[in-house]
């Protein structure tokens, strides 16, 4: 953990919280943005606006050689407005520079839908993904999805060699669900009644379908055409908090972060869960597996005094994925 005074220029006219976000964003970009990178993930939320500002300040000579991949419509517009080259997570090129040509026979089969696009081999990974969070605990587990982009945010984070989180001081808590009271869950609309009943049995006292408020009648609809259920639970435990004999699986009234994340993901109708837990990108790489991790390798918190507190992941050993 380190605290540095990283106040960038032009922050003096912002509110304390906005200035804190901007300081954290500029410091994160300073530490984790490399001009040699090719593919950059850009998350959603108010903090990411300052991340893009810091990247754009590097100049077109650097950024024009890169592709910026958004986590949803909001970050797509931020990228476009900043004049950065836009890409998408489903169009990353293959690792080899010269993909094999499609034969005449394959072309005919593709035309009539009898063969897929033959996207064989490894695809490029994002070099880094920057995103915010709604709450972050001391082991860098995160709650995300307050902006209803959690599935695409997780898709981008786990497609990156490293995920870097940027937030303000309010988001740093000792345990998840301390200040942020509910876990966002992205679901298929027709499954909402069944999922709500299941969540209640798992210990969520009042799961609710997120509504659009005054701006929109009815439920919030995500970029994927899904709904969001906000499921409150008691503060989540870390493995080190569990008493002897308590597996953290809800059977004793307590949930450990990883156990709850895995359990919620197994519910039929759930697209994804706003708990970012498990491994970080360094652990995935060191295990010899492809892809990235859900947890950030580092989290940057803009503080009220103008400094930036940096929390770096302590887990670096290779760990195989758990079911």
Q: Could you give the CA distance from residue 97 to residue 244 in angstroms, rounded to a whole number?
A: 53
* Residue closest to 84 by CA, chosen among 8, 166, 158, 29: 29
Return the exposure string of 273-312: e unless at least 16 CB atoms fall within 10 Å of the residue's CB, then b: bbbbbbbbbbbbbeeeeeebbbbbbbbbbbbeeebbbbbe
Are the CB atoms for 38 and 120 separated by under 8 Å?
no
Tokens of 196: 């709500």
Q: Give me the catalytic one of 53, 135, 139, 153.
A: 153
Residue with tokens 């918190």: 301
* Secondary structure letter of residue 235 according to DSSP: P
Beta-carbon contacts of 231 under 8 Å, excluding residues fewer than 6 positions away, are 182, 183, 185, 199, 204, 207, 264
Tokens of 219: 């439920």
Is 317 assigned a catalytic role?
A: no
Are the CB atoms for 254 and 246 separated by under 8 Å?
yes
Q: How many residues does the chain have?
A: 323
Are the CB atoms for 45 and 52 separated by under 8 Å?
no
Report, as residue numbers or ranges, the catalytic residues.
153
């Amino acid at each position: 953990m380190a605290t540095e005074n990283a106040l960038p220029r032009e922050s003096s006219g912002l509110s304390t919280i906005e200035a804190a976000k901007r300081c954290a964003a500029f410091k994160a970009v300073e530490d984790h943005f490399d001009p040699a990178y090719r593919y950059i993930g850009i998350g959603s939320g108010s903090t990411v606006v300052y991340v893009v500002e810091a990247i754009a300040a590097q100049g077109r000579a650097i950024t024009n050689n890169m592709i910026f991949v958004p986590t949803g419509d909001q970050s797509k517009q931020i990228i476009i407005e900043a004049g950065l080259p836009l890409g998408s997570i489903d169009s990353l090129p293959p690792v080899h520079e010269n993909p094999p040509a499609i034969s005449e026979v394959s072309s005919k089969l593709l035309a009539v839908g009898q063969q897929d696009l033959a996207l064989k081999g490894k695809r490029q990974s994002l070099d880094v993904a920057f995103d915010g969070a709604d709450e972050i605990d001391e082991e860098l587990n995160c709650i995300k999805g307050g902006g209803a982009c959690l599935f695409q945010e997780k898709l981008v984070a786990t497609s990156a060699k490293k995920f870097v989180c940027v937030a303000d001081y309010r988001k740093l808590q000792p345990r998840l669900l301390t200040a942020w009271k509910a876990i966002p869950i992205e679901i298929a609309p027709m499954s909402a009644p069944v999922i709500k009943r299941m969540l209640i049995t798992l210990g969520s006292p009042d799961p609710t379908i997120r509504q659009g408020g005054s701006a929109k009648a009815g439920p919030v609809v995500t970029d994927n055409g899904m709904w969001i259920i906000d499921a409150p639970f008691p503060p989540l435990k870390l493995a080190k908090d569990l008493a002897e004999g308590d597996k953290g699986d809800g059977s004793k009234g307590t949930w450990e972060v990883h156990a709850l994340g895995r359990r919620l993901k197994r519910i039929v109708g759930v697209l994804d869960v706003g708990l970012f837990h498990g491994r970080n990108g360094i652990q995935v790489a060191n295990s010899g597996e492809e892809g990235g991790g859900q947890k950030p390798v580092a989290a940057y918190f803009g503080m009220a005094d103008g400094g930036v507190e940096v929390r770096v992941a302590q887990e670096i050993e290779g760990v195989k994925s758990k079911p």
